[in-house]
Amino acid sequence: MKLVNKMLKITCLMILMVSYSQVAEANNTAPGAIDFTNESFDSAKQRASEEGKLFFVDFYANWCTPCKWMESTTFKDKEVIKTLNSNYVSIKVDIDTQEGFSIKEKYQISVLPTLLIFNSDGELVERVQETLSRSKMMNLLTFHVHKDAKVVQNHYFNQSPNKDTAIQAPAEEKYKEYRNTNSNKSTYRIQVGDYNNYESALTKVNEIREEFLEEIIVLNDYRDGKVWYRVLMGNFSSESEATSFQVILKRDFQIDSIVY
C-alpha cells in the first residue's frame, strides 16, 4: 500500500512538472511586444534588406491621440506582434525630434498616424494615412508578406534611392524653423465647440472625454453682454502641432475645429 501511494505521488508530481513546463514554454514563446528597433532609420532599413525582410515605419507624435489609441490596441494584438516580429524590421519615428522631422520632410508626412512599408529591395510599396484597427492592420501586413506583393506601387511622390543623404543640412535648418515657429505664443489649443449656455458646453465636454485623452477646458468669453463658452482641446507647443491634430480630428472623427 505504501508503495502504491508513493507511486501515485511520483506520478502526480511528474504531471505537475510537465504542465508547468508546457505553461512556461507557452509564455516564453508568446509574443510580448513589437520589436521596434532603436536603430536609425537608414540602419534599420539596411538591416531589413540584409535579412530579406520588409521595413515597417510608424510615424507618430506624443500629442497624437489616434497614435496612442493604436499603441494601446492594435500594436498590442498578439497576431500583429507575431507578424511584424517575424517578417518586418519595425521602427517608430517621432516627428518632433530632429531626425524624425528630417524623415517626415523627406517622405512628405502631413498627417498622423502615417505608416510606410518598404520591400526588401528598399522600395516604398505602401503608404497608409489612417488609424488602423487590428483587422485592418493584419490585412495590410499579411498582404505585403506575400512575395507577389513586393512590387512598387503608385504613391504621392517618387522616391529616388540615390538621394538618401542629400537632405540632412536643409532638414536641420527646417527643423530649427519648425521648433521656433510662433515662439511668442507658448500654448495652442483646438476649439471644438462654441456655446451660449454652459449645459451645452458640458455635454460636448462629456462626449469628447469618451473618445480622447487630451486635456479639455471650457473658456468663458463675453460678447455683447452675454457669456459664451468655448470648448478647447489639447495643449500644443506650436501652431503646426495644433494644426496637425486638427487634421486628425476632421479626418478620423469628422469633428470640425479651429486652432485657438
Cis amide prior to 161 (ω within 30 degrees): no
Q: Do 245 and 64 form a contact (C-beta atoms < 8 A)? A: yes
Give me the pLDDT at residue 20, please. Answer: 43
pLDDT cut 70: percent of the chain above it? 70
Domain of 61, CATH number, reads: 3.40.30.10
Question: What is the model's pLDDT at position 170?
Answer: 52
Model confidence band, residue 175 (pLDDT cutoffs 50, 70, 90): low
26 or 150: which leads in pLDDT: 150
Q: Which domain holds residue 72?
A: 41-180
28 within a domain of the structure (yes/no) = no
- 6 in a structural domain: no
Instruction: Tell me: do 84 and 101 sit in the same domain.
Output: yes
> Minimum mean pLDDT among 50-59, 76-85, 143-152, 235-244: which range?
143-152
> Cα dist. 25→16, 29, 78, 97, 173 in Å?
14, 6, 16, 40, 51
Q: Look at residue 27 and tell me whether its pLDDT is greater than 50.
A: no
Q: Are 51 and 151 contained in the same domain?
A: yes
- Domain-terminating residue out of 180, 214, 245: 180
Q: Indicate whether 37 pLDDT > 90.
A: yes
pLDDT at 152 over 50: no
Whether the pLDDT of residue 94 is over 70: the answer is yes
**Average pLDDT rounded to a whole number, residues 120-139:** 87
Same domain, 173 and 135: yes
* 129/106 Cα distance (integer angstroms): 16
Whether the CB-CB separation of 102 and 172 falls below 8 Å is answered with: yes
Last residue of a domain, one of 147, 163, 180: 180
Question: Is residue 72 domain-shared with residue 135, that is, in the same domain?
Answer: yes
Between residues 82 and 144, which one has the greater pLDDT?
A: 82
Provide the pLDDT for residue 222. Answer: 63
pLDDT for position 171: 53
Provide mean pLDDT across the span 39-52: 93
Name the 3-class secondary structure at 173: helix
Tell me: pLDDT of 56 over 90.
yes
Q: Are residues 50 and 166 in the same domain?
A: yes
Low-confidence winner among 18-27, 30-39, 71-80 (lowest mean pLDDT): 18-27
Residue 153 has pLDDT above 80, yes or no: no
Angle between helices 134-145 and 78-87 (to 10 degrees): 20
Residue 120 lies in a domain: yes
Q: For 5-24, give one letter per residue: b (16+ CB within 10 A) or e.
A: eeeeeeeeeeeeeeeeeeee
Confidence check: pLDDT of 181 > 70: no
- With contact defined as beta carbons under 8 Å apart, do 211 and 196 qualify? no
Closest CA to 236 of 249, 223, 227: 249
Closest CA to 118 of 76, 58, 33, 75: 58
Instruction: Show Cβ contacts of residue 92 under 8 Å, excluding neighbours closer than 6 positions.
Output: 36, 57, 58, 59, 60
Active site residues: 64, 67
Q: Looking at 180, 210, 226, which one is the last position of a domain?
A: 180
Asked whether residue 13 is assigned to any structural domain, the reply reads no
3-state DSSP call for residue 75? Answer: helix
Tally of domains within the chain: 2
How many whole angstroms separate alpha carbon 232 and alpha carbon 16? Answer: 58
Check whether residue 132 and residue 59 sit in a common domain: yes
CA 37, 41, 43, 47 torsion: positive or negative? Answer: positive
Residue 229 has pLDDT above 70, yes or no: yes
Mean pLDDT of 156-179: 45
Residues 58 and 128 in one domain: yes
pLDDT digits (tens, 9 = 90+) for 202-217: 888 888 888 887 778 7
- Asked if residue 233 lies in contact with residue 192, where contact means CB atoms within 8 angstroms, the answer is yes
Residue 1, pLDDT score: 53
**pLDDT value at position 168?**
40
Q: Which residues does 122 contact at the CB level (< 8 Å), separation at least 6?
A: 45, 48, 49, 55, 161
